[in-house]
């Protein structure tokens, strides 16, 4: 079976949904979107707390396993990834953060990513946004994606922000303006208490258009390349190999884990690696799959004197919460795992914050991984822009074989040192006056480490992921970069990559909002290039 379209998009995650929506706004062009997962339009994908039931399910989560990580004592990790339309935006914690002005200005000024400075990307952040507040220089109210404060903010989230101020960190008035230097209550991607995923906000309205075709359960094998040009996409559905011909362009938008795998299977990658797998070389591109970055996340959890979400997880609370959500879109079912955030410098002389903190009014038992029986909170500590790197490789040319994730989550000594300093800062914040009055005990770590060696052991034995892999199809102005600043794959015409994989360096942010921005900017560039 073969069909054709002007644009074929491989991957229906955050950026892919945006691309399908924006490109199909032109009734004179046809668009096909291929998504390996399902529709992702059920109740659990709409209700904010429903993601807890979608993670760890093979139907809705890719559940990628890494190779043993020497920086974590040889532990393997499961990297969760949304397996449905909307991708990560359908199962994530809904945090909305763009990053700092310095992040994107550095992309442009230091890495040759022309057109990706802050003033340019801010236009595209705003284009997506339906802000639950007044329009301003940094917020727009007429976009498709809901952005709002949590409908009910726990008092301890405010206490966390106040405690940061107690020890000298600023309170940031509007962190979406490019200033993240301090503490704040974070916005979430919700509208009227419901999750505002890329699938719901962008794709669902666009699917009514006759020029847009969305095919789910379609596993992309490779991009078809003829005479140096992308001519279509080969995919598998219902056990049968099928193709879509692309009259104008193919856009790979399948995530930082899957997009490099698609390029590699298409013959775009390191020549020796492809030869070993029997894949015909189309472009010798050594950096495909390299430059993998992810946030190492380390938890600090304490007990408190105010009821928290984990103490409201019994059958009665859940039942009442479900009724409240159905009636008003409020209550425990509309919660998010993080409400407060802070960016801080682990060394005073640093030009920009290097540590990202996320605060949530919820505590797990560290052994059973079930909600703790006492009221508690958690603070997740990340290096904002990790130096540690890894790579994506293929196991085989079979698209059904998951890619190899070979990473060193805390492989760079500077990341380890920064995490140790950041965890010490968290302890200081929780013992600052505004929060200390609520503090009743420790959960994790049960005892405060006394030496840097003890802190390091805690990090290596407990660090997990931040759900933010980026960088594996790096954009840049240099010849080794996988894509140029217009996201065109070097060495092949009619082929682009547009998702988190093109980020050369992770911004100081959770990565869903930046991925959606990339989709918006890519759609604009594709339209402009088509008109020339």
Q: Is residue 197 within 8 Å of 189, Cβ to Cβ?
A: yes
Q: Is residue 299 within 8 Å of 376, Cβ to Cβ?
A: no
Residue 186: closest CA among 97, 125, 298, 91: 97
Q: In angstroms, how far is CA 343 from the centroid of its own chain?
A: 18
Q: Is 431 one of the catalytic residues?
A: no
Q: Could you say which of 139, 154, 438, 468 is catalytic?
A: 468
Angle at 217 between CA 215 and CA 222, to 5 degrees: 80
Which string of b and e fits 358-383 if b means at least 16 CB within 10 Å? bbbbbbbbeeeeebbebbbbbbbbbb
User: Between β-strands 129-131 and 145-147, what pairing exists: parallel, antiparallel or unpaired?
Assistant: parallel
State the Cα–Cα distance between residues 444 and 464, nearest whole angstrom: 14
State the Cα–Cα distance between residues 341 and 157, nearest whole angstrom: 9
State the Cα–Cα distance between residues 520 and 499, nearest whole angstrom: 10
Cα end-to-end distance, the chain, whole Å: 33
18 conformational bin, left if phi > 0, alpha if psi -120 to 50, beta if neither? alpha
Catalytic annotation, residues: 468
């Amino acid at each position: 079976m073969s069909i054709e379209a002007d644009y074929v998009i491989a991957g229906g995650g955050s950026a892919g949904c945006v691309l399908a929506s924006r490109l199909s706004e032109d009734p004179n062009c046809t668009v096909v979107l291929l998504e390996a997962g399902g529709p992702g339009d059920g109740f659990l994908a709409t209700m904010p707390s429903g993601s807890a039931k979608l993670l760890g399910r093979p139907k809705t989560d890719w559940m990628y396993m890494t190779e043993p990580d020497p920086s974590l004592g040889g532990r393997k990790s499961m990297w969760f990834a949304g397996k449905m339309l909307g991708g990560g935006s359908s199962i994530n914690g809904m945090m909305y953060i763009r990053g700092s002005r310095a992040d994107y200005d550095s992309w442009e000024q230091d890495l040759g990513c022309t057109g990706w400075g802050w003033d340019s990307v801010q236009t595209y952040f705003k284009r997506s946004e339906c802000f639950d507040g007044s329009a301003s220089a940094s917020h727009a109210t007429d976009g498709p994606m809901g952005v709002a404060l949590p409908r009910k903010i726990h008092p301890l989230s405010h206490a966390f922000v106040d405690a940061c101020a107690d020890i000298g960190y600023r309170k940031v008035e509007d962190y979406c303006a490019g200033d993240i230097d301090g503490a704040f209550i974070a916005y979430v991607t919700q509208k009227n208490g419901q999750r505002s995923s890329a699938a719901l906000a962008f794709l669902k309205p666009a699917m009514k258009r006759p020029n847009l075709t969305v095919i789910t359960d379609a596993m992309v094998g490779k991009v078809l390349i003829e005479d140096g040009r992308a001519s279509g996409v080969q995919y598998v559905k219902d056990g049968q190999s099928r193709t879509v011909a692309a009259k104008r362009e193919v856009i790979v938008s399948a995530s930082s884990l899957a997009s490099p795998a698609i390029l590699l299977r298409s013959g775009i990658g390191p020549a020796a690696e492809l030869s070993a797998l029997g894949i015909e070389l189309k472009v010798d591109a050594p950096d495909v799959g390299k430059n993998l970055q992810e946030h190492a996340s380390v938890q600090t959890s304490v007990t408190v004197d105010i009821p928290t979400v984990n103490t409201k997880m019994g059958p009665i609370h859940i039942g009442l919460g479900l009724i409240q959500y159905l009636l008003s879109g409020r209550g425990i079912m509309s919660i998010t795992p993080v409400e407060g955030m802070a960016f801080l410098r682990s060394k005073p002389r640093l030009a920009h914050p290097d540590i990202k903190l996320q605060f949530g009014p919820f505590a797990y038992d560290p052994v059973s991984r079930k909600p703790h029986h006492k009221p508690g909170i958690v603070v997740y500590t990340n290096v904002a822009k990790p130096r540690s790197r890894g790579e994506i490789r293929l196991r085989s040319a079979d698209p059904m074989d998951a890619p190899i994730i070979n990473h060193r989550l805390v492989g760079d000594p500077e990341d380890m040192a920064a995490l140790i300093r950041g965890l010490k800062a968290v302890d200081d914040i929780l013992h600052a006056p505004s929060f200390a009055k609520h503090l009743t005990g420790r959960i994790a770590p049960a005892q405060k480490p006394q030496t840097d060696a003890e802190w390091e052991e805690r990090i290596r034995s407990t660090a997990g992921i931040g759900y933010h892999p980026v960088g594996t199809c790096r954009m840049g102005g240099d010849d080794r970069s996988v894509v140029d600043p217009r996201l065109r794959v070097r060495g092949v015409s009619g082929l682009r990559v547009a998702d988190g994989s093109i980020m050369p360096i992770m911004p100081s942010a959770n990565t869903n909002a930046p991925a959606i921005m990339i989709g918006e900017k890519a759609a604009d560039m594709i339209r402009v290039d088509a008109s020339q």
